[in-house]
């Protein structure tokens, strides 16, 4: 059971990172990165590293997203490439 769940989470990890790379809307990229951090934290919690998961979810999914949103709110929202 845990094996299949972890495999699905690894797939989701790759999928969200590809979405964050490919999407034109930078706000959507930030949202995708937040999902990436959440999935990574879930994987860490499944591995038993609960402290690392808590840090990842507080910093990676919470504050980094806010910092990136603050950054793209001072530049243009669309990516040019």
Residues making contact with other proteins (CB under 8 A)? 47-48, 50-51, 53-55, 58-59, 62-63, 66-67, 69-71, 73-76
Contact 37, 62 (CB under 8 A): no
For residue 34, how many other CB atoms are within 10 A of its CB? 20
Q: How far is the CB of 74 from other proteins (least distance, A)?
A: 6
Collect all residues with Cβ–Cβ distance below 8 Å to 26 and sequence separation of at least 6.
Answer: 72, 77, 78, 79
Least distance from other proteins to the Cβ atom of residue 47, Å: 7
CB of 75 to other proteins, least distance (A): 7
């Amino acid at each position: 059971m845990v094996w299949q769940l972890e495999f699905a989470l690894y797939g989701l990890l790759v999928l969200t990172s590809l979405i964050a790379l490919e999407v034109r809307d930078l706000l959507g990229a930030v949202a995708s990165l937040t999902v990436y951090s959440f999935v990574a934290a879930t994987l860490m919690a499944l591995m038993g590293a609960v402290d690392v998961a808590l840090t990842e979810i507080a910093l990676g999914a919470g504050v980094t997203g806010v910092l990136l949103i603050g950054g793209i709110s001072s530049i243009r929202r669309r990516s040019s490439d």
